[in-house]
Structure 1
Protein backbone atom coordinates (compact mmCIF):
# COMPACT_ATOMS: atom_id res chain seq x y z
CA UNK A 1 0.00 0.00 0.00
CA UNK A 2 1.41 3.39 -1.05
CA UNK A 3 0.20 6.48 0.79
CA UNK A 4 -0.06 9.83 -1.00
CA UNK A 5 3.06 11.99 -0.83
CA UNK A 6 3.04 14.48 2.07
CA UNK A 7 -0.23 13.01 3.31
CA UNK A 8 0.36 13.62 7.01
CA UNK A 9 1.76 17.11 6.36
CA UNK A 10 -1.49 17.99 4.60
CA UNK A 11 -3.68 16.47 7.31
CA UNK A 12 -1.73 18.23 10.04
CA UNK A 13 -1.96 21.63 8.35
CA UNK A 14 -5.68 21.23 7.72
CA UNK A 15 -6.25 20.26 11.35
CA UNK A 16 -4.17 23.15 12.68
CA UNK A 17 -5.95 25.71 10.50
CA UNK A 18 -9.32 24.28 11.53
CA UNK A 19 -8.22 24.44 15.15
CA UNK A 20 -7.47 28.15 14.83
CA UNK A 21 -11.02 28.77 13.63
CA UNK A 22 -12.42 26.63 16.44
CA UNK A 23 -10.51 28.52 19.12
CA UNK A 24 -11.74 31.84 17.77
CA UNK A 25 -15.32 30.66 18.33
CA UNK A 26 -14.38 29.07 21.67
CA UNK A 27 -12.98 32.35 22.96
CA UNK A 28 -15.96 34.37 21.73
CA UNK A 29 -18.57 31.89 22.96
CA UNK A 30 -20.37 29.56 20.53
CA UNK A 31 -23.96 29.65 19.35
CA UNK A 32 -25.42 26.17 19.72
CA UNK A 33 -28.00 24.52 17.46
CA UNK A 34 -29.27 20.94 17.38
CA UNK A 35 -29.39 18.51 14.47
CA UNK A 36 -32.21 16.08 13.74
CA UNK A 37 -30.62 13.47 16.02
CA UNK A 38 -30.50 16.08 18.81
CA UNK A 39 -26.71 16.21 18.81
CA UNK A 40 -25.33 19.73 19.23
CA UNK A 41 -23.58 21.69 16.48
CA UNK A 42 -21.91 25.09 16.56
CA UNK A 43 -20.54 27.53 14.04
CA UNK A 44 -17.10 26.17 14.98
CA UNK A 45 -18.03 22.76 13.53
CA UNK A 46 -19.10 24.36 10.27
CA UNK A 47 -16.14 26.72 9.90
CA UNK A 48 -13.63 23.98 10.69
CA UNK A 49 -15.19 21.55 8.24
CA UNK A 50 -15.13 24.12 5.42
CA UNK A 51 -11.41 24.70 5.99
CA UNK A 52 -10.60 20.98 6.01
CA UNK A 53 -12.69 20.19 2.94
CA UNK A 54 -11.04 22.98 0.95
CA UNK A 55 -7.53 21.82 1.80
CA UNK A 56 -8.21 18.15 1.14
CA UNK A 57 -9.85 18.97 -2.19
CA UNK A 58 -6.85 21.05 -3.24
CA UNK A 59 -4.29 18.39 -2.25
CA UNK A 60 -6.17 15.20 -3.12
CA UNK A 61 -8.97 16.05 -5.56
CA UNK A 62 -9.55 12.40 -6.50
CA UNK A 63 -10.12 11.12 -2.94
CA UNK A 64 -13.71 11.59 -1.68
CA UNK A 65 -14.32 13.04 1.78
CA UNK A 66 -16.99 11.87 4.21
CA UNK A 67 -17.42 14.69 6.73
CA UNK A 68 -19.85 14.86 9.63
CA UNK A 69 -21.67 18.11 8.87
CA UNK A 70 -21.80 17.39 5.13
CA UNK A 71 -23.41 14.01 5.79
CA UNK A 72 -25.90 15.67 8.14
CA UNK A 73 -26.82 17.99 5.25
CA UNK A 74 -27.30 15.03 2.90
CA UNK A 75 -24.00 15.33 1.00
CA UNK A 76 -22.53 11.83 0.89
CA UNK A 77 -19.86 11.05 -1.73
CA UNK A 78 -19.40 7.79 -3.57
CA UNK A 79 -16.75 5.77 -1.73
CA UNK A 80 -16.94 2.67 -3.91
CA UNK A 81 -13.28 3.10 -4.85
CA UNK A 82 -12.29 2.00 -1.34
CA UNK A 83 -10.11 4.98 -0.43
CA UNK A 84 -11.67 8.03 1.24
CA UNK A 85 -11.18 10.53 4.03
CA UNK A 86 -13.25 10.66 7.21
CA UNK A 87 -13.51 14.05 8.91
CA UNK A 88 -14.92 15.12 12.24
CA UNK A 89 -14.24 18.86 12.35
CA UNK A 90 -15.04 19.14 16.06
CA UNK A 91 -15.13 15.94 18.06
CA UNK A 92 -16.30 16.46 21.61
CA UNK A 93 -18.79 19.23 20.86
CA UNK A 94 -20.29 18.78 24.34
CA UNK A 95 -16.86 19.35 25.88
CA UNK A 96 -16.50 22.42 23.67
CA UNK A 97 -19.87 23.83 24.74
CA UNK A 98 -19.15 23.11 28.43
CA UNK A 99 -15.74 24.81 28.08
CA UNK A 100 -13.69 21.71 28.73
CA UNK A 101 -10.55 21.66 26.62
CA UNK A 102 -10.70 18.03 25.44
CA UNK A 103 -12.32 18.65 22.04
CA UNK A 104 -10.40 17.65 18.91
CA UNK A 105 -10.18 17.89 15.14
CA UNK A 106 -10.12 14.41 13.52
CA UNK A 107 -8.98 13.59 9.98
CA UNK A 108 -8.27 10.07 8.71
CA UNK A 109 -7.59 8.27 5.46
CA UNK A 110 -9.38 4.96 4.97
CA UNK A 111 -8.12 2.35 2.53
CA UNK A 112 -10.17 -0.77 1.88
CA UNK A 113 -11.99 -0.47 5.20
CA UNK A 114 -8.87 0.21 7.29
CA UNK A 115 -7.71 3.54 8.75
CA UNK A 116 -4.14 3.90 7.44
CA UNK A 117 -3.32 7.46 8.50
CA UNK A 118 -4.80 9.96 10.90
CA UNK A 119 -4.36 13.20 12.80
CA UNK A 120 -6.07 14.17 16.06
CA UNK A 121 -5.52 17.79 17.10
CA UNK A 122 -6.60 19.23 20.46
CA UNK A 123 -6.14 22.97 19.89
CA UNK A 124 -7.04 24.13 23.40
CA UNK A 125 -4.55 21.65 24.89
CA UNK A 126 -1.88 22.59 22.31
CA UNK A 127 -1.19 18.97 21.40
CA UNK A 128 -1.77 16.73 18.41
CA UNK A 129 -1.26 13.09 17.55
CA UNK A 130 -0.32 11.86 14.11
CA UNK A 131 0.09 8.34 12.76
CA UNK A 132 0.46 6.26 9.65
CA UNK A 133 1.16 2.56 9.28
CA UNK A 134 3.89 1.63 11.78
CA UNK A 135 4.72 5.06 13.25
CA UNK A 136 2.89 7.45 15.58
CA UNK A 137 3.91 10.79 17.07
CA UNK A 138 2.80 13.32 19.67
CA UNK A 139 3.20 16.97 18.67
CA UNK A 140 3.33 19.94 21.06
CA UNK A 141 2.45 23.50 20.06
CA UNK A 142 3.15 26.99 21.31
CA UNK A 143 0.46 29.63 21.86
CA UNK A 144 1.11 30.93 18.33
CA UNK A 145 0.33 27.46 16.86
CA UNK A 146 4.00 26.84 16.06
CA UNK A 147 5.28 23.30 16.56
CA UNK A 148 7.57 23.10 19.60
CA UNK A 149 8.49 19.45 19.23
CA UNK A 150 7.61 15.94 18.16
CA UNK A 151 8.28 12.57 19.70
CA UNK A 152 7.51 9.02 18.72
CA UNK A 153 4.91 7.24 20.83
CA UNK A 154 3.82 3.64 21.21
CA UNK A 155 1.38 1.50 23.16
CA UNK A 156 2.70 -0.06 26.34
CA UNK A 157 2.65 -3.79 26.91
CA UNK A 158 -0.26 -4.84 29.11
CA UNK A 159 0.60 -5.89 32.62
CA UNK A 160 -1.52 -7.67 35.21
CA UNK A 161 -3.25 -4.46 36.29
CA UNK A 162 -5.01 -2.57 33.51
CA UNK A 163 -5.96 1.09 33.21
CA UNK A 164 -9.03 1.92 31.13
CA UNK A 165 -10.14 5.13 29.45
CA UNK A 166 -13.87 5.72 29.23
CA UNK A 167 -16.13 8.37 27.77
CA UNK A 168 -16.72 11.45 29.89
CA UNK A 169 -20.06 12.36 28.26
CA UNK A 170 -21.40 8.96 27.15
CA UNK A 171 -21.12 6.48 30.01
CA UNK A 172 -23.30 3.36 29.96
CA UNK A 173 -23.97 0.30 32.15
CA UNK A 174 -22.24 -2.09 29.73
CA UNK A 175 -18.96 -0.26 30.21
CA UNK A 176 -19.29 -0.65 33.98
CA UNK A 177 -19.94 -4.38 33.51
CA UNK A 178 -16.90 -4.73 31.24
CA UNK A 179 -14.64 -3.01 33.79
CA UNK A 180 -15.97 -5.11 36.67
CA UNK A 181 -15.77 -8.45 34.87
CA UNK A 182 -12.23 -7.78 33.68
CA UNK A 183 -11.12 -6.65 37.14
CA UNK A 184 -10.36 -3.07 36.06
CA UNK A 185 -10.68 -0.55 38.87
CA UNK A 186 -8.33 2.11 37.50
CA UNK A 187 -9.95 4.23 34.82
CA UNK A 188 -9.90 7.77 33.48
CA UNK A 189 -12.83 9.70 32.01
CA UNK A 190 -11.76 11.62 28.92
CA UNK A 191 -13.63 13.45 26.16
CA UNK A 192 -13.40 13.07 22.38
CA UNK A 193 -10.93 10.90 20.47
CA UNK A 194 -8.19 11.65 23.00
CA UNK A 195 -9.07 8.30 24.57
CA UNK A 196 -7.46 6.54 21.60
CA UNK A 197 -4.43 8.78 21.94
CA UNK A 198 -3.91 7.88 25.60
CA UNK A 199 -3.71 4.24 24.55
CA UNK A 200 -1.34 5.12 21.72
CA UNK A 201 0.87 7.12 24.08
CA UNK A 202 1.15 4.21 26.51
CA UNK A 203 -0.80 5.89 29.32
CA UNK A 204 -3.68 3.39 29.39
CA UNK A 205 -4.42 -0.16 28.24
CA UNK A 206 -8.02 -0.47 27.11
CA UNK A 207 -10.88 1.67 25.81
CA UNK A 208 -14.30 -0.05 25.88
CA UNK A 209 -17.14 1.66 24.05
CA UNK A 210 -20.63 0.18 23.88
CA UNK A 211 -22.57 3.36 23.13
CA UNK A 212 -23.22 4.63 19.62
CA UNK A 213 -20.46 6.32 17.66
CA UNK A 214 -19.98 7.26 14.02
CA UNK A 215 -17.03 6.43 11.81
CA UNK A 216 -15.74 10.01 11.77
CA UNK A 217 -15.65 9.90 15.59
CA UNK A 218 -13.21 6.99 15.66
CA UNK A 219 -11.22 6.76 12.41
CA UNK A 220 -8.38 9.20 13.16
CA UNK A 221 -7.82 7.94 16.69
CA UNK A 222 -8.05 4.36 15.45
CA UNK A 223 -5.40 5.04 12.80
CA UNK A 224 -3.06 6.46 15.43
CA UNK A 225 -3.74 3.58 17.83
CA UNK A 226 -2.95 1.01 15.15
CA UNK A 227 0.18 2.91 14.09
CA UNK A 228 1.31 2.86 17.74
CA UNK A 229 0.95 -0.92 18.00
CA UNK A 230 -2.60 -1.25 19.32
CA UNK A 231 -5.80 -2.63 17.92
CA UNK A 232 -9.48 -1.82 17.67
CA UNK A 233 -11.97 -4.67 17.33
CA UNK A 234 -15.57 -5.50 18.01
CA UNK A 235 -16.20 -6.92 21.51
CA UNK A 236 -16.11 -10.49 20.16
CA UNK A 237 -12.70 -9.87 18.59
CA UNK A 238 -13.93 -9.55 14.99
CA UNK A 239 -12.41 -6.82 12.78
CA UNK A 240 -13.55 -3.22 13.03
CA UNK A 241 -14.01 -1.79 9.55
CA UNK A 242 -14.97 1.50 7.89
CA UNK A 243 -17.17 2.45 4.96
CA UNK A 244 -20.36 0.88 6.32
CA UNK A 245 -22.93 2.31 3.91
CA UNK A 246 -25.52 -0.47 3.54
CA UNK A 247 -26.55 -1.19 7.10
CA UNK A 248 -30.05 -2.50 7.64
CA UNK A 249 -30.06 -1.94 11.41
CA UNK A 250 -28.45 1.49 11.63
CA UNK A 251 -27.54 4.59 9.65
CA UNK A 252 -24.73 4.83 7.14
CA UNK A 253 -21.32 5.12 8.81
CA UNK A 254 -22.65 4.16 12.26
CA UNK A 255 -20.27 2.02 14.34
CA UNK A 256 -20.90 -1.10 16.37
CA UNK A 257 -19.57 -1.44 19.90
CA UNK A 258 -15.80 -1.77 20.14
CA UNK A 259 -12.82 -2.39 22.40
CA UNK A 260 -9.54 -0.56 21.85
CA UNK A 261 -6.45 -2.32 23.20
CA UNK A 262 -2.84 -1.41 23.69
CA UNK A 263 -0.10 -3.91 23.03
CA UNK A 264 -0.71 -7.49 24.16
CA UNK A 265 1.68 -9.27 26.50
CA UNK A 266 3.54 -10.90 23.64
CA UNK A 267 3.84 -7.46 21.97
CA UNK A 268 1.84 -8.68 18.99
CA UNK A 269 -0.44 -5.80 17.96
CA UNK A 270 -2.52 -8.22 15.91
CA UNK A 271 -3.67 -9.99 19.06
CA UNK A 272 -6.29 -8.22 21.18
CA UNK A 273 -7.31 -11.12 23.41
CA UNK A 274 -6.94 -10.77 27.15
CA UNK A 275 -7.28 -14.11 28.99
CA UNK A 276 -11.00 -14.60 29.54
CA UNK A 277 -11.81 -11.43 27.61
CA UNK A 278 -14.23 -12.83 25.06
CA UNK A 279 -16.14 -14.78 27.68
CA UNK A 280 -16.47 -11.82 30.01
CA UNK A 281 -17.60 -9.10 27.65
CA UNK A 282 -21.31 -8.38 27.66
CA UNK A 283 -22.57 -7.32 24.29
Structure 2
Protein backbone atom coordinates (compact mmCIF):
# COMPACT_ATOMS: atom_id res chain seq x y z
CA UNK A 1 0.00 0.00 0.00
CA UNK A 2 2.83 2.39 0.93
CA UNK A 3 4.66 1.65 -2.35
CA UNK A 4 1.49 2.39 -4.32
CA UNK A 5 1.02 5.68 -2.47
CA UNK A 6 4.67 6.60 -3.16
CA UNK A 7 4.23 5.96 -6.88
CA UNK A 8 1.11 8.16 -7.08
CA UNK A 9 2.81 10.82 -4.93
CA UNK A 10 5.85 10.98 -7.22
CA UNK A 11 3.73 11.05 -10.40
CA UNK A 12 1.66 13.89 -8.96
CA UNK A 13 4.78 15.82 -7.91
CA UNK A 14 6.58 15.58 -11.25
CA UNK A 15 3.38 16.39 -13.17
CA UNK A 16 2.92 19.49 -11.00
CA UNK A 17 6.56 20.52 -11.47
CA UNK A 18 6.46 20.03 -15.26
CA UNK A 19 3.25 22.03 -15.41
CA UNK A 20 4.90 24.95 -13.63
CA UNK A 21 7.91 24.64 -15.94
CA UNK A 22 5.60 24.99 -18.95
CA UNK A 23 3.81 27.99 -17.41
CA UNK A 24 7.19 29.71 -17.00
CA UNK A 25 7.77 29.28 -20.73
CA UNK A 26 4.55 31.07 -21.73
CA UNK A 27 4.17 33.76 -19.06
CA UNK A 28 6.33 36.91 -18.93
CA UNK A 29 9.12 37.03 -16.36
CA UNK A 30 8.83 39.00 -13.16
CA UNK A 31 10.19 42.54 -13.66
CA UNK A 32 13.68 43.32 -12.39
CA UNK A 33 13.31 44.85 -8.94
CA UNK A 34 10.07 42.97 -8.27
CA UNK A 35 11.16 39.33 -8.16
CA UNK A 36 10.52 39.18 -4.43
CA UNK A 37 6.74 39.49 -3.90
CA UNK A 38 5.41 42.72 -2.42
CA UNK A 39 4.74 42.44 1.31
CA UNK A 40 7.50 39.87 1.84
CA UNK A 41 11.00 40.35 3.29
CA UNK A 42 13.36 41.56 0.56
CA UNK A 43 10.77 43.31 -1.60
CA UNK A 44 12.54 46.07 -3.50
CA UNK A 45 15.89 44.76 -2.27
CA UNK A 46 15.19 45.79 1.33
CA UNK A 47 16.16 42.84 3.52
CA UNK A 48 15.51 42.74 7.28
CA UNK A 49 18.42 43.62 9.56
CA UNK A 50 21.33 41.19 9.44
CA UNK A 51 22.37 39.90 12.87
CA UNK A 52 25.08 37.21 13.08
CA UNK A 53 24.18 34.13 15.13
CA UNK A 54 24.91 34.23 18.83
CA UNK A 55 25.95 31.40 21.11
CA UNK A 56 23.20 28.81 21.39
CA UNK A 57 21.61 29.64 18.03
CA UNK A 58 21.13 26.77 15.59
CA UNK A 59 22.74 26.89 12.16
CA UNK A 60 23.52 24.30 9.49
CA UNK A 61 25.76 23.61 6.52
CA UNK A 62 23.49 25.49 4.08
CA UNK A 63 24.52 29.17 3.66
CA UNK A 64 21.16 30.07 2.07
CA UNK A 65 19.14 28.83 5.07
CA UNK A 66 21.59 30.38 7.54
CA UNK A 67 21.27 33.71 5.74
CA UNK A 68 17.48 33.54 6.12
CA UNK A 69 17.89 33.02 9.88
CA UNK A 70 20.51 35.78 10.13
CA UNK A 71 18.01 38.19 8.54
CA UNK A 72 15.11 37.00 10.70
CA UNK A 73 13.19 35.54 7.76
CA UNK A 74 13.43 32.20 9.53
CA UNK A 75 13.52 32.36 13.35
CA UNK A 76 16.77 34.09 14.29
CA UNK A 77 17.71 31.32 16.69
CA UNK A 78 17.19 28.75 13.91
CA UNK A 79 14.89 26.67 16.08
CA UNK A 80 11.34 25.27 16.02
CA UNK A 81 10.88 25.79 12.29
CA UNK A 82 7.83 24.30 10.58
CA UNK A 83 8.68 22.38 7.42
CA UNK A 84 5.81 23.92 5.45
CA UNK A 85 6.71 27.42 6.61
CA UNK A 86 10.33 26.93 5.60
CA UNK A 87 9.19 25.96 2.10
CA UNK A 88 6.97 29.02 1.80
CA UNK A 89 9.77 31.34 2.93
CA UNK A 90 12.35 29.76 0.61
CA UNK A 91 9.94 30.43 -2.23
CA UNK A 92 9.48 34.14 -1.50
CA UNK A 93 13.16 34.70 -0.65
CA UNK A 94 14.88 32.87 -3.52
CA UNK A 95 12.07 32.36 -6.08
CA UNK A 96 12.19 28.60 -6.16
CA UNK A 97 8.91 27.13 -7.43
CA UNK A 98 6.15 25.92 -5.11
CA UNK A 99 6.85 22.34 -6.26
CA UNK A 100 10.55 22.65 -5.41
CA UNK A 101 9.68 24.23 -2.05
CA UNK A 102 7.45 21.27 -1.26
CA UNK A 103 9.95 18.62 -2.36
CA UNK A 104 13.02 19.81 -0.42
CA UNK A 105 11.40 20.28 3.04
CA UNK A 106 9.40 17.07 2.53
CA UNK A 107 12.62 15.17 1.73
CA UNK A 108 14.36 16.74 4.75
CA UNK A 109 11.50 15.76 7.05
CA UNK A 110 11.06 12.22 5.75
CA UNK A 111 14.63 11.19 4.92
CA UNK A 112 16.92 13.31 7.10
CA UNK A 113 15.37 14.23 10.45
CA UNK A 114 12.69 11.50 10.42
CA UNK A 115 9.86 13.81 11.41
CA UNK A 116 6.33 14.48 10.24
CA UNK A 117 6.28 17.07 7.45
CA UNK A 118 2.80 18.34 8.34
CA UNK A 119 3.02 18.61 12.12
CA UNK A 120 6.60 18.62 13.43
CA UNK A 121 9.22 21.34 13.76
CA UNK A 122 13.02 21.16 13.57
CA UNK A 123 16.20 23.10 14.32
CA UNK A 124 18.59 23.97 11.51
CA UNK A 125 21.44 21.87 12.91
CA UNK A 126 19.22 18.77 12.66
CA UNK A 127 19.62 18.95 8.88
CA UNK A 128 23.30 18.07 9.24
CA UNK A 129 23.04 14.33 9.78
CA UNK A 130 26.05 13.13 7.81
CA UNK A 131 25.08 11.77 4.40
CA UNK A 132 21.54 13.00 4.82
CA UNK A 133 21.67 16.25 2.87
CA UNK A 134 25.09 17.22 4.29
CA UNK A 135 27.89 15.40 2.49
CA UNK A 136 31.66 15.14 2.06
CA UNK A 137 33.58 17.33 -0.41
CA UNK A 138 31.38 20.38 0.16
CA UNK A 139 32.53 23.52 -1.62
CA UNK A 140 32.24 25.66 1.50
CA UNK A 141 32.57 23.27 4.50
CA UNK A 142 35.23 20.87 5.72
CA UNK A 143 34.15 17.23 5.85
CA UNK A 144 32.24 16.43 9.03
CA UNK A 145 34.80 13.78 10.03
CA UNK A 146 37.34 16.61 10.31
CA UNK A 147 34.97 19.34 11.52
CA UNK A 148 31.82 18.04 13.24
CA UNK A 149 30.39 21.57 13.53
CA UNK A 150 29.05 22.19 10.04
CA UNK A 151 27.48 25.55 10.91
CA UNK A 152 30.49 27.71 10.02
CA UNK A 153 31.90 28.48 6.55
CA UNK A 154 35.41 27.28 5.70
CA UNK A 155 36.99 30.47 4.41
CA UNK A 156 39.87 28.81 2.52
CA UNK A 157 37.55 26.67 0.38
CA UNK A 158 35.23 29.55 -0.42
CA UNK A 159 38.15 31.84 -1.34
CA UNK A 160 39.55 29.13 -3.64
CA UNK A 161 36.13 28.54 -5.20
CA UNK A 162 35.57 32.21 -6.04
CA UNK A 163 39.12 32.50 -7.40
CA UNK A 164 38.19 29.83 -9.99
CA UNK A 165 35.77 32.26 -11.71
CA UNK A 166 36.60 32.72 -15.40
CA UNK A 167 33.35 34.27 -16.63
CA UNK A 168 32.45 37.95 -16.96
CA UNK A 169 29.10 39.73 -17.05
CA UNK A 170 28.34 42.57 -19.47
CA UNK A 171 30.02 45.04 -17.09
CA UNK A 172 33.15 42.94 -16.72
CA UNK A 173 32.35 41.61 -13.24
CA UNK A 174 33.57 38.06 -12.49
CA UNK A 175 31.15 35.15 -12.81
CA UNK A 176 31.43 31.49 -11.90
CA UNK A 177 30.55 29.21 -14.82
CA UNK A 178 29.50 25.57 -14.98
CA UNK A 179 33.05 24.63 -15.96
CA UNK A 180 34.48 26.61 -13.03
CA UNK A 181 32.24 24.83 -10.52
CA UNK A 182 32.90 21.43 -12.07
CA UNK A 183 36.65 22.04 -11.95
CA UNK A 184 36.62 23.10 -8.31
CA UNK A 185 34.27 20.24 -7.38
CA UNK A 186 36.74 17.84 -9.00
CA UNK A 187 39.52 19.26 -6.84
CA UNK A 188 37.47 19.11 -3.64
CA UNK A 189 36.40 15.50 -4.23
CA UNK A 190 39.90 14.31 -5.07
CA UNK A 191 41.53 16.20 -2.21
CA UNK A 192 38.92 15.13 0.35
CA UNK A 193 39.21 11.52 -0.77
CA UNK A 194 42.98 11.68 -0.21
CA UNK A 195 42.99 12.99 3.37
CA UNK A 196 39.64 12.00 4.88
CA UNK A 197 39.88 8.33 5.85
CA UNK A 198 36.10 8.23 6.33
CA UNK A 199 35.34 9.83 2.97
CA UNK A 200 32.13 8.73 1.25
CA UNK A 201 30.30 10.23 -1.69
CA UNK A 202 27.63 8.09 -3.29
CA UNK A 203 25.55 9.01 -6.33
CA UNK A 204 22.81 10.87 -4.42
CA UNK A 205 25.35 12.99 -2.55
CA UNK A 206 27.31 13.75 -5.70
CA UNK A 207 24.04 15.11 -7.07
CA UNK A 208 23.47 17.12 -3.88
CA UNK A 209 26.92 18.63 -4.34
CA UNK A 210 26.14 19.63 -7.90
CA UNK A 211 22.76 20.95 -6.74
CA UNK A 212 24.62 23.42 -4.54
CA UNK A 213 26.59 24.48 -7.61
CA UNK A 214 23.34 24.87 -9.53
CA UNK A 215 21.95 27.18 -6.85
CA UNK A 216 25.00 29.41 -7.20
CA UNK A 217 24.55 29.50 -10.97
CA UNK A 218 20.78 30.03 -11.07
CA UNK A 219 19.54 31.85 -7.96
CA UNK A 220 22.77 33.85 -7.59
CA UNK A 221 23.67 34.02 -11.28
CA UNK A 222 27.25 32.94 -10.58
CA UNK A 223 28.06 36.51 -9.50
CA UNK A 224 31.22 36.40 -7.42
CA UNK A 225 30.52 39.65 -5.57
CA UNK A 226 27.15 38.40 -4.32
CA UNK A 227 28.41 34.89 -3.55
CA UNK A 228 31.30 36.28 -1.53
CA UNK A 229 28.78 37.92 0.80
CA UNK A 230 26.38 34.98 0.91
CA UNK A 231 28.98 32.24 1.40
CA UNK A 232 31.40 34.01 3.75
CA UNK A 233 29.02 36.17 5.82
CA UNK A 234 25.81 34.20 5.20
CA UNK A 235 24.14 37.51 4.52
CA UNK A 236 21.98 38.67 1.59
CA UNK A 237 23.56 41.68 -0.15
CA UNK A 238 21.77 45.01 -0.08
CA UNK A 239 19.41 45.46 -3.03
CA UNK A 240 19.83 41.79 -3.97
CA UNK A 241 17.05 39.70 -5.44
CA UNK A 242 16.97 36.25 -7.00
CA UNK A 243 18.37 36.09 -10.53
CA UNK A 244 15.58 33.64 -11.40
CA UNK A 245 12.73 35.72 -12.78
CA UNK A 246 10.29 33.05 -13.93
CA UNK A 247 6.74 33.76 -12.81
CA UNK A 248 6.41 30.35 -11.15
CA UNK A 249 9.98 30.29 -9.83
CA UNK A 250 12.79 27.81 -10.43
CA UNK A 251 11.26 24.37 -10.90
CA UNK A 252 12.88 21.04 -10.13
CA UNK A 253 13.01 20.22 -13.85
CA UNK A 254 14.69 23.51 -14.79
CA UNK A 255 17.07 23.25 -11.83
CA UNK A 256 18.30 19.87 -13.04
CA UNK A 257 19.17 21.33 -16.43
CA UNK A 258 22.12 22.87 -14.56
CA UNK A 259 22.74 20.15 -11.97
CA UNK A 260 23.25 17.37 -14.52
CA UNK A 261 25.76 19.15 -16.82
CA UNK A 262 27.86 20.26 -13.83
CA UNK A 263 27.94 16.73 -12.45
CA UNK A 264 28.86 15.24 -15.84
CA UNK A 265 31.80 17.64 -16.17
CA UNK A 266 33.31 16.71 -12.80
CA UNK A 267 36.36 14.46 -13.14
CA UNK A 268 38.69 13.64 -10.27
CA UNK A 269 40.95 11.76 -12.70
CA UNK A 270 41.36 14.81 -14.92
CA UNK A 271 42.12 17.02 -11.91
CA UNK A 272 44.73 14.57 -10.59
CA UNK A 273 46.33 14.23 -14.03
CA UNK A 274 46.60 18.01 -14.40
CA UNK A 275 47.94 18.32 -10.85
CA UNK A 276 50.62 15.70 -11.54
CA UNK A 277 51.62 17.47 -14.78
CA UNK A 278 52.02 20.80 -12.97
CA UNK A 279 54.16 19.19 -10.27
CA UNK A 280 56.30 17.50 -12.92
CA UNK A 281 56.85 20.84 -14.68
CA UNK A 282 58.00 22.39 -11.41
CA UNK A 283 60.60 19.68 -10.98
CA UNK A 284 62.03 20.19 -14.50
Task: Settle same-fold status: TM greater than 0.5.
Answer: no
Task: Give TM-score scaled by structure 1 length.
Answer: 0.28
Q: Which has the higher helix share?
A: 2
Task: Give TM-score scaled by structure 2 length.
Answer: 0.28
Report 1 or 2 for greater relative contact order, CA contacts < 8 Å, sequence distance ≥ 6. Answer: 2
Q: Which has the higher strand share?
A: 1
